C-alpha cells in the first residue's frame, strides 16, 4: 500500500513539474515573439537609393508591345526580378497574381529578367504569365544593381523608388508596399525609428 501511495505522490510531483515547465516555456515563446518581429524584405545597399528617381526604360514585353519602367505614371510599379531557374521565384508567382488582383487599382506588377529569349518565352507560356508585362533587359538589372533573386523594387507614382529588397515570401513582398504607404524605406527602418522613441 505504501508503494502505491509513493508512486501516486511521485506522479503528482512530476505532473506539477511538467505544468510549471510548460508555463515557463510558453512565457519564453511570448517574449521571443515580441523580440523577433517580422522585418520585411531585406534591403541591400546597392543601386539607386530609396527616395531617388528610378532609372527610366522603355522596353519590349514578351507579350508584345512596349512598357515604360520607372517613369512618373501616376501609378506605382512593383518591379519583380526573377529567373526561370529560380525555385523561389516560381513559388512567388501565385502570390504575385493574387497581389496584382488585390492592388490592381494602384499598383502595376512588372516581371523583369535577362537571358535567352527562347528560355523566357517557354517559361512565360508554361507559367501562364500573360497578365503581366514581362521584360528582358540586362541593362535594367544593372541599373538597379540586382545581384540576388528574387528581388523587388517599388517605384512610386512620381517615379521615385519607394522601397526595395530581397523577397522570399508573401510577407516580404507586402512589406515593400506597406513601407511605401508608411513613407519609409523599409520596415527595418520603421522599426529602428520606433525603438528610438
103-122 pLDDT per residue, tens: 999 999 999 999 999 999 99
Same domain, 162 and 78: yes
Same domain? 125 vs 156: yes
101 and 4 assigned to the same domain: no
- Range(s) of the domain holding residue 162: 57-196
CA–CA gap between residue 98 and residue 182 (Å, rounded) = 22
3-state class (DSSP) for residue 67: strand
One domain, residues 25 and 86: no
> Could you tell me if residue 76 is inside a domain?
yes
Q: Rounded to 5 degrees, what angle do the CA atoms 36, 42, 44 make?
A: 140
Cell of 45: 545597399
Question: Mind listing the pLDDT tens digit for each residue in 66-80?
Answer: 999 999 999 999 999
Assigned domain for 26 exists: yes
C-alpha span between 102 and 151 (Å, rounded): 20
Q: Judge if 31 and 62 occupy the same domain.
A: no
Does 129 lie in the same domain as 95? Answer: yes
Residue 2 backbone dihedrals phi, psi, to 5 degrees: -70, -30
In this structure, the answer to whether residues 76 and 172 fall within a common structural domain is yes
**Full-model pTM:** 0.77
pLDDT at 30: 80
Residues 122 and 186 in one domain: yes
52 found inside a domain:
no
Per residue of the chain (197 residues), what is the pLDDT tens digit? Answer: 788 889 999 999 999 999 999 999 998 888 776 665 555 666 666 789 999 999 999 999 999 999 999 999 999 999 999 999 999 999 999 999 999 999 999 999 999 999 999 999 999 999 999 999 999 999 999 999 998 999 999 999 999 999 999 999 998 999 899 888 888 777 667 666 776 66
- Which residues neighbour 174 within 8 Å (Cβ) at sequence distance 6 or greater? 99
The grid cell for 71 is 517613369
Total domains, the chain: 2
Amino acid at each position: 500500500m505504501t508503494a502505491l501511495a509513493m508512486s501516486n505522490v511521485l506522479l503528482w510531483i512530476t505532473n506539477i513539474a511538467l505544468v510549471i515547465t510548460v508555463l515557463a516555456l510558453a512565457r519564453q515563446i511570448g517574449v521571443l515573439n515580441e523580440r523577433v518581429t517580422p522585418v520585411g524584405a531585406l534591403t541591400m545597399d546597392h543601386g539607386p537609393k530609396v527616395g531617388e528617381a528610378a532609372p527610366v526604360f522603355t522596353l519590349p514585353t514578351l507579350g508584345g508591345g512596349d512598357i515604360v519602367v520607372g517613369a512618373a505614371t501616376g501609378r506605382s510599379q512593383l518591379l519583380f526580378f526573377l529567373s526561370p531557374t529560380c525555385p523561389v521565384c516560381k513559388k512567388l508567382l501565385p502570390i504575385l497574381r493574387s497581389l496584382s488582383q488585390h492592388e490592381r487599382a494602384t499598383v502595376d506588377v512588372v516581371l523583369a529578367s535577362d537571358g535567352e529569349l527562347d528560355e523566357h518565352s517557354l517559361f512565360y507560356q508554361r507559367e501562364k504569365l500573360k497578365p503581366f508585362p514581362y521584360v528582358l533587359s540586362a541593362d535594367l538589372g544593372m541599373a538597379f544593381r540586382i545581384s540576388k533573386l528574387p528581388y523587388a523594387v517599388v517605384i512610386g507614382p512620381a517615379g521615385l523608388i519607394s522601397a526595395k529588397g530581397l523577397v522570399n515570401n508573401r510577407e516580404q513582398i507586402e512589406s515593400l508596399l506597406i513601407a511605401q504607404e508608411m513613407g519609409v524605406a523599409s520596415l527595418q527602418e520603421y522599426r529602428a525609428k520606433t525603438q528610438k522613441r
